[in-house]
Amino acid sequence: MNNNVPIKEEKSLPTVCKSGLSGENQCEKKICRKVKKTAAVIIVACLLLLLLIFGTVAGVFYHYYSLVAVDEKKDDYSHVVSLTDEDLKEIPDGTVELPEEDVYSQKDVVNILLIGTDERTRKFDKYARADSIMLLSLNKKTNAVKLVSLERGMLVKIPGRQDDILTHTFHYGGAKLVMKTVRTHFNLNVDRYVRVNFAVFQKLVNEVGGVDVTLTKEEARALRALFPKKELKEGVNHLDGKVALEYSRLRSIDSDWHRIERQRNVIGSIKNNLKGKSVGELNTIANDCLPYVQTNLTSMEFADLLFHLSDYVNGDLSQMTIPKKGTYKGLGNVDFKANSKILRDFIYGE
């Protein structure tokens, strides 16, 4: 009996899609082709989806940016400005000494000058005056928001003119001259601005549903004189755009120092109200208010600002006024070197 029965060799399984396959493995070839086609379809579909999303987002940003009055002019404030006797009374006596340090900046911090001008219509007038000047500082890393009121009555140096107050710089040379003045007097990097007027201020307050503001007895009495039909009292009041504007401009009962605090109170309340708004509500606010805004932000900067808007709205808000108490002897003699350091420490935390 022959025990030497030959053992059949087991054939190794063919490698899918390996070149040189035998005829019996053609099915694996077909499977491979189908897998490749399916993968290609999935990749193309993903790319198309990404392009669609990007195109939609870019379209939204472009739409909002197209609503804004973009300032691309070099300088059209070449008119001769003649001050009235009332204007001249505002200019204090004093001397101005500029700090000698270099202009400071950080890549994660964006400084935007906020300028409120005195038009009550949508149209921007180059002869308008800056009713308020603030510095908005946004930290893209921490989402911290810093808001600094710059006292508009500070005596400053203006190239080609005698020393004058900060608020007049807008009338002499527009937002560009205001930004240049802030840079040279505080050594702070700021080359972007947003300009709004009385019309958009009222509209924005109304769009967010009004603002809650705590009034003093004197503030309530002064506002009742302007709005006798309004029920305004000492304590927390809900103000509409018209009343909020007059509250922000009120200084007859005390001083301009208190007035700029009132302006920040309203902005802080607007910020709080924006937190609870839906995407649809924010879209309505943007469409209604942006046509009343002028800026020199580029389209990319504007898109980046909108992209991080939710983070900033929910971020911490810190406020202050410049010049700081103890750093000036009347607004004609401000220690700009000391205030430059105070401002840098406040914004950059150094």
The pLDDT of residue 45 is: 61
In the predicted model, what is the mean pLDDT of residues 321-342? 94
The pLDDT of residue 350 is: 55
Q: Which residue has the tokens 């396959």?
A: 21
pLDDT digits (tens, 9 = 90+) for 66-102: 777 777 555 444 455 666 667 777 888 899 999 988 8
The pLDDT of residue 73 is: 56
pLDDT digits (tens, 9 = 90+) for 108-141: 999 999 998 877 666 777 767 788 899 999 999 9
pLDDT digits (tens, 9 = 90+) for 38-51: 666 666 566 655 54
3-state secondary structure of 106: coil
The pLDDT of residue 16 is: 47
The pLDDT of residue 205 is: 93
The pLDDT of residue 342 is: 95
Whether this prediction's pTM lies above 0.85 is answered by no
The pLDDT of residue 138 is: 93
**Of 16 and 320, more confident:** 320
pLDDT digits (tens, 9 = 90+) for 171-183: 888 899 999 999 9
Would you place residue 55 in the very low, low, confident or very high pLDDT band (cuts 50, 70, 90)?
Answer: very low
Question: Cα separation of 217 and 44, whole Å?
Answer: 67
Angstrom distances, CA of residue 224 to CA of 157, 332, 336, 340: 40, 34, 39, 40
Question: What secondary structure letter does DSSP report for 156?
Answer: E
pLDDT digits (tens, 9 = 90+) for 232-265: 999 999 999 999 999 998 988 888 888 889 999 9
Strands 69-70 and 294-295, bridge-based pairing: parallel
Confidence check: pLDDT of 53 > 70: no
Helical axes 256-274 vs 198-207, angle rounded to 10°? 40
The rounded mean pLDDT for the chain is 81
Confidence check: pLDDT of 215 > 90: yes
The pLDDT of residue 134 is: 93
Confidence check: pLDDT of 219 > 60: yes
334, two tokens: 């401000």
Question: Cα separation of 209 and 273, whole Å?
Answer: 8
The pLDDT of residue 82 is: 63
Residue 136, strand partner residues: 112, 147
The pLDDT of residue 57 is: 45
Q: Which CATH superfamily is domain 68-208+277-348 in?
A: LCP protein (3.40.630.190)
The pLDDT of residue 197 is: 84
**Of 14 and 62, more confident:** 62
List the single range of 94-103, 201-210, 238-247, 302-311 with lowest mean pLDDT: 302-311
Question: Cα separation of 234 and 236, whole Å?
Answer: 7
Question: Cα separation of 131 and 134, whole Å?
Answer: 10
Confidence check: pLDDT of 33 > 80: no
Confidence check: pLDDT of 107 > 80: yes
The pLDDT of residue 130 is: 82
Assign residue 168 a region: left if phi > 0, alpha if psi is -120 to 50, beta otherwise?
Answer: alpha
Helix/strand/coil percent split, the chain, to 5: 45, 15, 35
The percentage of residues in the chain with a pLDDT greater than 90, rounded to a whole number, is 39
